[in-house]
Amino acid sequence: MKELIVLLLAFILLHDHLAAIPLSSSELSNKQRQGVVVNLIHRDFSPLSPFYNSSMTRSEILVKDAFRSVSRAKSFNSAILNYNNRLNRSTPDATTIFPMRGIWLMHLYVGTPLVESFTNADTGSDITWIQCMPCEECFPQLAPYFDPKKSSTNLIATCDSAVCGYYFPKRCSEANECTYRVVYGDGSATSGTVMTDTISFYKDGSLTYSNFVMGCGHNNGGIFLPEEVGITGLGGGKSSLISQLASNFEKELLLHLSLEAVKVNDNVLNTKDSTASNIIIDSGTTYTHLERSFYYKVEWAVVVAISEQAYPVPAVEPFNLCFKESKIIGFPDIRFQFAGGAELLLTKDHTFIRAAYNTVCLSIIPTDGISIFGSIQHMNFNVEYDLDAKTVSFAKADCSKE
């Protein structure tokens, strides 16, 4: 029997505890599974984050997240084009993957003895890497650079090793070391050697995984802050953390969901003949983005549902639909209906945010590119990525108590 290893992501928002989303089907089953729960930390809301600023208001943080979300969503399309173009080339090149640091951070402990790494958690990319000694050209970080020579379990991969060319495009140094280079769509980049080492999600090392393949970055630059040391890739590719903990490595690059309809109260809007039916789940994109023509159908249904209470007011960028909060007594229920009968009920805490004083906005944004199911819409869930079964499951959770 295949070993099944899943990763449960407990999405955390401290300060404003959003209501849990009930799911009518495809919830996490009660059968025993082997897995690990990793708490993700919101970079702006959570006091656990090194970027936490207590002087920022909730509205300021949410609008800031929205602009970050729009930038990331736009970048997906150029990154997809770059990836497709790379597939047509026969020679190894730098891997171009999705840009813009997301809103979630996580602790990753590397080596023996364990060294703490505060990384960006990103389901939109696959490769995990941290800055390493010798650091030839690195961005400044507060913590010491990871020194692989001080880890008794570290091994730099050689060009003839099994991992070279399997997880990364095969590149070799003059010293016969397996090397990598990743260029993100926003211009950030990392390059260095491929290494294997022990990792853990807990400071006490109570749960560790050996021979984890990751990047040891010697040349890194771009949009990074001193508190960060690298990126943890949680995508569906074979180099991602999730895939390496799973038993089956034949995965897709991105985590896709099949969206069949969006239901606003009793108004069912089918995605048939719309590219919105193919939607990516991405923790780094804060808000859900829907293909523009389908978004306008959803927006109009929301306007109709609220029309007896209030009319739209000038929108707060980057949102598209806003109302005076004091005029609204009840908000419509919005349900995302997925293939297989799964239905995700989104209440007002997931679909409307206070973007300014007495102004609430629909927290779904139109896009000219691929649709993305953002992290606000699956807040207070344990999200299970089962790559063997090729399923994504949601289970209600109160992350403020975990």
| Catalytic annotation, residues | 122, 282
Do residues 207 and 172 touch, judged by C-beta distance below 8 A?
Answer: no
Residue corresponding to tokens 């800055």: 131
Residues 37, 67 contacting (CB under 8 angstroms): no
Report how far apart, in Å, the C-alpha atoms of 65 and of each of 43, 74, 255 are.
10, 14, 22
Would you call 189 exposed, middle or buried from its count of C-beta atoms within 10 A (0-12, 13-18, 19+)? middle
| Nearest-angstrom CA–CA distance, 33 and 242 | 15
Q: Where are the beta strands (DSSP E) in 169-314?
A: 171-172, 178-184, 189-200, 208-221, 230-233, 256-264, 267-270, 278-281, 288-291
Between CA 314 and CA 322 the distance in angstroms is 7
Residue 284: name the closest of 244, 235, 346 by CA.
235
Comparing CA positions, the residue from 228, 221, 214 lying closest to residue 157 is 214
Q: Say which residues have a Cβ less than 8 Å from residue 233's Cβ, sequence separation at least 6.
A: 122, 125, 126, 127, 128, 239, 240, 241
